[in-house]
Amino acid sequence: MRFLRPLEPGLPAPERDAFLDSRCAGDTELREQVERSTQVRLQEGVVTASEYLDRTAELLQARFARLGHEVELAQASAHLLTTLGLEVR
């Protein structure tokens, strides 16, 4: 499973975090494209307002998840620095 290789044990944290961040960003960008496409299709009468709202909700959920992961990363970084006795900035 090549797509899991960056998560193998022993991978330096900065590389792992960069990989995960790029995956989250890619998911959000893809959902933004789907939402824009669905909006155009709604204006053309091809999809219902309900389907458009579903895609918009999925986009918002992806954004919230990404922000949640950023907060978790900041918390983990602060915890590590505190454990090491270093100043958290």
pLDDT of 24-42, one tens digit each? 667 889 999 999 999 999 9
Between CA 75 and CA 54 the distance in angstroms is: 31
**What pLDDT is recorded for position 10?**
61
pLDDT of 53-81, one tens digit each? 999 999 999 999 999 999 999 999 999 98
Domain range summary for the chain, segments of one domain joined by +: 12-83
**What pLDDT is recorded for position 48?**
96
Q: How far is CA 1 from CA 6, 27, 56, 58, in A?
A: 10, 19, 31, 27
